[in-house]
Amino acid sequence: MIQEEFKFYKPCELLQPYVRYYWVFSSIQLLNTYTFPIGCPQIIFHKRTPLFIPELGTTQNKLTISGQVNFSSHLQADGNVEMIVAVFYPHTMNTFLNAPASSFYNQEISGYDIEDKQLNELAAQVFECKDNDICINLIEEWLLSRLSNTTYDTTYRVMRINAAVEKLCVAPHTLVTELSSICCLGKKQFEREFYLHVGMNPKEYSRIVRFQKALWLMQHQQGKTNQADLAYASGYADQSHLIREFKKLCGYTPLSLLEVSTPYSDLFTTPI
């Protein structure tokens, strides 16, 4: 019997500007894994045992909305896991939900708590279906139905914040004033819009981007990490800034992280 299995799915063309990918994970082994802030919100369907997060002292609901976080955490389960996850771009999840992304900041919220009847009906269908390929189709149909009801104003606002997110991913050190100019908004209005769609303010999100960019570089340098070069390439002010931020976001320095795990950037890696 297979102990663990991952499977990734690419979204349909219409959803590709909004959904990065879907993944399905099943395991019959005890699970205790350490995760870092990834910079992307998720909707999670647990078909068997939900995950426990000791740092929050909470167990995820069968239907969980996982927002932007600025801390690392453990994910634990008793070995009876089967989960389906929709991973969104940093600024797109609230296109499909009746709640702003800021509502989920640093939290694991039950999808049932946002009182969305159609989302609840989708969850019931997913939990009743044994074929995960069909489950992905059900999720896509639901997302497409929500997208078809999106107003032009909502779409435009998402596209505007997309420009700022793309700029941050290229240059995480970009000033908020420049980001607001890119979006043709005043600084305060831009910060409100960014917080509404992304779920954290621009300066805080830039910290996650720098961290994930550094992980991506480490991932592709095969362990040959010069911290001064890594700091410069990732947008940190200097090596001390890099080390300080790494300790805050994952509990390790870049070099000590290499001793306990293989670096992997969820934000800058598309597994399909």
If DSSP codes are grouped into helix, strand and coil, which group holds residue 53?
strand
Q: What percent of the chain has pLDDT over 90?
A: 92
Q: What is the mean pLDDT of residues 236-245?
A: 96
Does 39 score more than 60 pLDDT?
yes
Task: Report pLDDT digits (tens) over 42-67.
Answer: 999 999 999 999 999 999 999 999 99
CA distances from 91 to 18, 45, 192, 198, 259 (A): 8, 21, 13, 4, 33
Compute the distance between CA of residue 265 and CA of residue 184 in angstroms, rounded to an integer: 30
Q: What mean pLDDT do residues 216-226 have?
A: 83
- Which candidate, 197, 152, 215, 245, places its Cα nearest to that of 179? 197
Alpha-carbon gap, residue 152 to 231, rounded angstroms: 40
Give the Å distances, CA to CA, from 266 to 37, 141, 175, 243, 248. 9, 25, 24, 20, 18
Phi-psi category of 39—alpha, beta or left, where left has phi over 0 and alpha has psi -120 to 50?
left
Summarised one tens digit per residue, pLDDT across range 89-105 is: 999 999 999 899 999 99
Q: Is-above-0.85 flag for pTM?
A: yes
37 to each of 152, 159, 197, 235, how far by Cα in Å? 31, 24, 17, 17
Mean pLDDT to the nearest integer, 77-96: 96
